[in-house]
Amino acid sequence: MPQEYETFMHRWFEEVWNQGREDAIDEMFAEDGIGHGLPTDSGEPVRGPKEFKPFFKRFREAFPNVKVVVGETVSDGEKIASVCYVSGLHEGEGIGLSPTNLPVDFTGIVIVKLRDGKIIESWNSFDFMRMYAQLGALTLNLK
């Protein structure tokens, strides 16, 4: 089971994010799946592919060449956690900023629970503060 989960994580980030295959979302995210930590207009977790796709489209519009590399992974047999390394060039308005054509690189951690080969629940924590700071939209004074 742990190897199956690790393979799933690599496939999710490769097909959905790196290749931009929107149809892979339907293949891999359960209709009743919940995605915590992903922004929606209501502030609630995304539910199912229908609510995940707007987030996906906006982010891919902003970073059409986004690259996510799955790093270290651990599994307890029910869930898998992966460290992700994200990079891209800000070329679109999908995140509420005019394109800056600046590069970004930041990290995140994703924990996924699967049922029948699909995400039924995920917990997502990405360093969007670092991303926005790299785009000049946020000043971090960490002295």
Identify the CATH number of the domain in which residue 103 sits. Answer: 3.10.450.50
Domain annotation covers residue 59: yes
Helix (H) or strand (E) holding 67: strand 67-75
Residue 43 lies inside a defined structural domain of this protein: yes
Q: What is the structure's pLDDT at 36?
A: 96
Domain that holds residue 73: 2-134
Residue 143 lies in a domain: no
Mean pLDDT across the chain, nearest whole number? 92
| Range with top average pLDDT, 77-81, 83-87, 129-133 | 83-87
Residue 62 lies in a domain: yes
Number of structural domains found in the chain? 1
> Is 139 contained in some domain?
no
For residue 30, being part of any structural domain is answered with: yes
Domain-located, residue 107: yes
If you average pLDDT over residues 33-50, what whole number do you get? 90
For the cut 90, the answer to whether the pLDDT of residue 3 exceeds it is no
Neighbours of 116 (CB within 10 A): 6
| Main-chain phi, psi angles of 100, to 5 degrees | -105, -15
Residue 71 belongs to a domain? yes
